[in-house]
Structure 1
Amino acid sequence: MIATSAPLENVLDSLMRLVESQLKGIFGSVLLLDKDGVHLRHGAAPSLAKAYMSAIDGSAIGPKTGSCGTAAYRREPVIVADILQDPLWEDYRDLAALYGYRSCWSTPILSHQGVVLGVFAMYSMSVREPTEAETRLIEFTTHIAGIAIERKRAEDQIHFMANHDTLTGLPNRALLEDRLSQAVLYAQRYNRWVAVVFIDLDNFKLVNDTLGHNAGDELLKTVAGRLVGCVKATDTVVRVGGDEFVIVLFDQPTNVDVISETLQTIRDAIAEPVPVAEHRLRLTASIGIANYPKDGTSPDKLLANADAAKSRAKEFGRDNFQFYAPEFNSSAHEKFLLQGELRNALARSEFALLYQPQVDLRSGQIVAVEALVRWNHPARGLVSPMTFIPTAEETGLIVPIGDWILHEACRQNKAWQRAGLPPVTVCVNVSARQFREKNLIDRVVNALKESGLEARYLELEVTESLIMQDFELAVATMNGLQGLGVQISIDDFGTGYSSLSALKTFPVQRLKIDKSFIDDLATDENDQAVTSAVISLGQKLNLRVLAEGVETDDQVAFLRKNNCDEMQGNYFSKPLSAGDLGKLIAKG
């Protein structure tokens, strides 16, 4: 069986059955030493209780770990005549007794170089030591098991070397086509994309020429590890030669933005300094991307087109990426540029807040103001939140940006109060990314403490869909905020998917009717029905209801007729600077 390369588990199983056929009342087993060199894994035990073998599978070797673990640790045979009495079995005695095993004779299985490969053991239901004939059989059987295990390890090593790069341990070009073919077949079946990313490290030859090939090898190994850390376990990172890598992004959604996010992660990982030979090297890369099915339907075509896109990236001056499909390049590059500029915007104090009043429809008084962020870009001018907020959400930058908005809004509201203006509530939007942060409540406490603003003059606006992502966590967070005295409102109400039974458990004070229902309120009967229903619902739940985006007399008339509490929109005032809003509040 060994000569014909039969599977190792079959060889060991047959070997144990052969041993057991020669002896009476003996049960043979083989445990294999794991790659970590610490744990023993199941190899073969045709006659031992499966539950027993399952219980000891993965047990660690050591100086007092039964017969097998101790034999592997000592690298010598361990004969235990009575399991119930021997101290080596102290931690496993009850387990063995459960199945009636009383003696166990274990011998380490060694390679021809003396490396421990596993353990061969014989169990008996009686208290005794092996006879001379049994000892000879153990020695012979252990030798045979060693040949089988060593042969299997050699085959595995040969197969690994044939399909993997010896320096980095990554799959090589021989394995690339197989992995890419599987990815394409999956994408065909489930209407998904496959992205082939071709990476060429810039100026790598200079490292070899100046610091030597050992430094170059260390650099490549570091980069290989970082690339693996950037992708999912189902993706494949391949070294195709010298300083070139290919990544196969498996099972991608049909959205170039998702692929772009992964590309940015890869670029950031490559750009991190690499300590090599007392130097800290900074790398860049030229990257080309081809997508299935648009850029090719076969592995060869996808690889060729990703390589061509990579060459174009080098032509553009290196340290950039190019999609094979040109139409993807402009949008993706614009997004990456935006991400980089967003990272610097906070440090450069480029953000500012405008404030839009919220007015009581009965008295006409300003009761609250909503803080609205704007980006004063040094080159582009005023950038709309619709442009940069989604990118901030995707990258996680919304957390520090949102924290700045919260602190600035609280500071400004307290400044108005110190100036002697009538107190109003300042409303701050909380994004889904912020809401999932475990320290949101601590951030709110910090903003109130630093500004000196009382909690009752702060309102946080959350959306229905945000709450319903994790209902229990959301309600717990809202309860914690309410416990501080902070008010909570549901923004864009009617566009989410919360149930009425959930709504009654929300610890909120206000509902904000989304602008989409207000725009055609004067003429659209459906919008009128929804708006009047929300107003009625809010009143029955003792919640104030505010209409967003109010701009016309007809809209105001309808809202007053249906007893809506408050409104916000250009009908009363556009968003204003802090100074102008302060003057408006002062007018009463």
Structure 2
Amino acid sequence: MNATASTTLLIADDDPAHLLLTEAALAGAGFLVHTASDGEEAVRRYAEVRPDFVVLDVNMPKLTGIDACREIRKLATSRHVPILMLTGRNDLPAISEAYAAGASDFAQKGINPRLLVERVRFLLRDRDLQEELRSSRSKLLLAQRIARVGHWEIAADGRTLHVSPMLGELLGVDPGSLQRYEDFVALLDEADREDARKAFVTCATGNGRFGLDHRIARADGAVISVHQEAELIEGASVAGASVVIVTLQDLTRLHRAEETVRLLSYFDTVSGLPNRRHLSEQIAHALKEPAGAAATAVVAFRVHSYDRIVQARGSDFANKLVVQLARLVGLELERISHGGTILWRTDLPSVCRTADGELAILLRSRVSAEHVATVSHAVLESVSSHASGPDVDYVPALSAGVALADGATTDAEQLVANAHSAAELAKDPRGCAFFSPLPQAQLRRRLVLESSLRNAVERRDLTLVYQPRVAIETYALTGVECTSRWKHPQFGTIRPEEFLAIAEEAGIVDDLGRWMLDDACRQLAGWHERYEDTFFAAIRVSGRQLRDPRLAANVQAAIERYRLPANSIQIDLTEAAIIDAPDAAHAAIDGLRKAGVRIGLDDFGTGHSSLGQIRRVPFNSMKLDRALMADLYTDPWAQGVTAAVLAMARAMQIRSVADGIDDAETLEMLRALGCDEVQGKHVAPPMKPLDFEDWLERGGARHLARQRYREAESARDLSASEVDDIMKWANS
């Protein structure tokens, strides 16, 4: 699109012929032309059409061209509109007056029309360039205002050539007062002035640019941080001389933002105390320094009952309490440092808050590692002594955990974590514990085991073993106890007590229990069919499993899946499991009893043993705790307790079972006391399915009967026929 076609011109001339000629020339060039025959009409028509360009004849009736120019310039919209005056030849006074009135340029009246068109086009181009310049300048000033930057043009001898308004605003002075660079130097701190002078001289003589940072106290009392950059520009002045361009940027807001970020990064936002990151950096610096102190350690102080304090008094009170404790710890360490035995900086905040209820410090002793413990105890005692002060509301107990840095320690964060772990071990108020890697190794091992245990069943890392239970009089097999075994690929064989406890805490004991139940039922169904025997399988359940409302249904489903008699499965449980959730436990037991499943009481005789539980639950069997079997043969007290328990079981018609029978003497003692069934290594150890089958096919526990009667034969004189009868029975 032709830009000329959208450009509007206004021509004013009282000579109709000249007006017509001028109009024709400009319209022919593509301009949209409006005309006026005198000065008054020109002013009026300007307001109506708001042209982009004005051509005025100097000599017109009613209002001269110069007066008309002056009136048009009074209008706000005409500020940047080019006005071309047409004058007579050599009318110099009129030309001067026209410029004074606001004319942009002049031409002689009767100029060649083609030259007039080019003159108009030139002035319009100049107008556009001026507009671009004004826009750029406006944008520059806006950018400087936003960025808080001012610039200054200075001659090599230090005289001011130009100064931006923004620079005066930054410094809080009138820009006109900055006549020389030295006027700026006078605003600086006295310590910075000489450096600024030398830097300017170096730059002005062509020896390199410079950058300096300053703090300036303004006249209004505000203190600002500015950055000064200067560079020599060759031939930049109108006269071609070199000019030093200086820029000043106000960095006050940036520095405030950086300080805010620093506070958020290195200080606790609630209490204002240094945080864990602050402490870690202190430790990192200390570890890099040459070994000067006898011992470097991190001491963590744990606030006892912090959670209860928050619940009782609120978080605001608890936070103020932590600040108070940090002050007390700091005061005591400052007092100790006066003796020269520890390195303690009083010029920096050094008591850090590393957790909600925990403070920690970097402690460097000049004496020994043992001295670190001495200092820690002194701090604990000092804080404790303030608890009895007349103006003290409440001072909680503290305990301390110490993590010493050895020669190979380079990880500051690990040192803080070690101190935290040690503080957790210091359970007693005013107690102090040193970090040991053993608990950490145990924790890591437990985490690995928990992770592995979740997939152990699927990978078939877990297996079931079976330990026979036999009648004490006939040694006939009555049942097998199923227990799980786990061979971990990294740690080898894991004790059942360990991984079952992990399964309980991790919430995967239910999955483990369902696998045990299914595998035991599958194996038992195969043995019933193969050996035409109906012994049962006992499976122990935990308190968590007993609280599962689906327990009875899961057991019944497994029994039906493998077509087993209901009484071929026995669920063993402890009194502790029942006491933990009595309602859920009794509901589960009722469901199992209705399904025909046997119920066994495990580990009776110690712990929570209670006659009330036995009376309320119809148990099929009662297994005596292994602890009673340890010294049964030699300990009269154990014999008395065992006899009483067995007598009670007979009175309540509950089968009694003794576990942990490792020798013949204990077995004979139990026989004399009236026990019904036994299991243990003397009978048979826990066995894998193939080993159990081999044991069963070799006669099971009948070898014990043969051994017993051989001993009896040697003890009394039996006839040959009696011995033959006994041996025939034992071998049947």
TM-score under structure 2 length normalisation:
0.40
Say which one has the larger Rg: 2
- Higher RCO (C-alpha 8 Å, min separation 6): 1
TM-score under structure 1 length normalisation:
0.49
